């Protein structure tokens, strides 16, 4: 007697065929959709900067890789109006292209993005923040006057500073880094100490060079050291040393 095929096997085969049919339809639909959407401009690589943390006055190179666009525009966000403003723009081949913009002398932090366009549509990429750093002194060195043989301390301070180094000049124009000696101490701290002051120190100009954690530099205001001479007043009973300018 011939055995009948079980309903279970027949049902399983039917389900398999239905799955294959649905999968074929999905592939066909995806293929048609992909062919259409491929005509739209798109980013192969989003906007990128050679440095996202820069020092004030440095240049920033912005770039992106794009495709299917015949026009691009680098934009920055105007903090005053809240509108996107064109930095630069250009026409490009609709195939894969590298686009760039060199941002000269960044003065403050800013936000940028890229707009792409072709005859079909227009898109904008994600925004990117460029952070601009510059150390700011909260304490500046002040001019000081001291007697020959005395001691002074010049002070400077910057919040978040990673390094300090003091410099000196005899004319206030040409500065050289100080080296630690018996006369100049704590040259790599916020407080420069000048001890055993001598006549040749008169008129020396000091300033402090500071760096932050991003290696951004700032120079303090200059401060002048004035040296007064000692003189001796003699009376019948005692002699007293006076510094010029003392009363």
For the stretch 19-69, pLDDT in tens is 555 655 444 444 434 434 458 999 999 999 999 999 999 999 999 999 999
Q: What is the pLDDT of residue 8?
A: 41
d(CA 141, CA 203): 15
Q: How many CA atoms lie within 13 A of 38 on its CB side?
A: 8
Instruction: Give the pLDDT score at 102.
Output: 96
Tokens of 68: 């299917």
On the CB side of 185, how many CA atoms lie within 13 Å of its CA? 10
Give the mean model confidence (pLDDT) for residues 198-212.
96
Q: What is the pLDDT of residues 161-172, one digit of tens each?
A: 999 999 999 999
What is the per-residue pLDDT across 216-243, written as a single tens digit (0 to 9) for each? 999 999 999 999 987 654 445 545 455 6
- What does the alpha-carbon distance between residue 53 and residue 57 come to, in Å, rounded to a whole number? 12
For residue 96, what pLDDT band results from cuts at 50, 70 and 90? confident
**How many whole angstroms separate alpha carbon 226 and alpha carbon 228?**
7
């Amino acid at each position: 007697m011939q055995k009948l095929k079980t309903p279970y096997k027949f049902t399983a085969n039917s389900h398999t065929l239905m799955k294959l049919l649905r999968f074929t339809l999905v592939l066909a639909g995806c293929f048609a959709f992909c062919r259409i959407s491929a005509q739209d401009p798109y980013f192969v690589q989003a906007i990128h900067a050679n440095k996202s943390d820069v020092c004030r006055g440095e240049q920033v190179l912005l770039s992106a890789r794009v495709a299917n666009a015949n026009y691009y525009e680098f934009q920055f966000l105007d903090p005053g109006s809240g509108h996107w403003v064109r930095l630069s723009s250009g026409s490009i081949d609709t195939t894969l292209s590298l686009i760039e913009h060199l941002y000269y002398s960044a003065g403050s932090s800013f936000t940028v993005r890229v707009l792409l366009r072709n005859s079909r549509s227009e898109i904008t990429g994600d925004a990117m923040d460029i952070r601009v750093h510059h150390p700011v002194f909260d304490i500046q060195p002040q001019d000081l006057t001291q007697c020959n043989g005395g001691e002074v301390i010049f002070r400077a301070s910057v919040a978040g500073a990673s390094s300090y180094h003091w410099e000196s000049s005899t004319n206030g124009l040409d500065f050289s880094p100080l080296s630690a000696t018996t006369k100049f101490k704590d040259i790599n701290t916020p407080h420069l100490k000048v001890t055993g002051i001598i006549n040749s120190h008169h008129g020396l100009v000091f300033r402090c060079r500071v760096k932050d954690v991003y290696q951004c530099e700032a120079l303090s205001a200059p401060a002048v050291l004035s040296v007064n001479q000692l003189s001796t007043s003699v009376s019948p009973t005692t002699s007293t040393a006076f510094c010029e300018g003392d009363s």
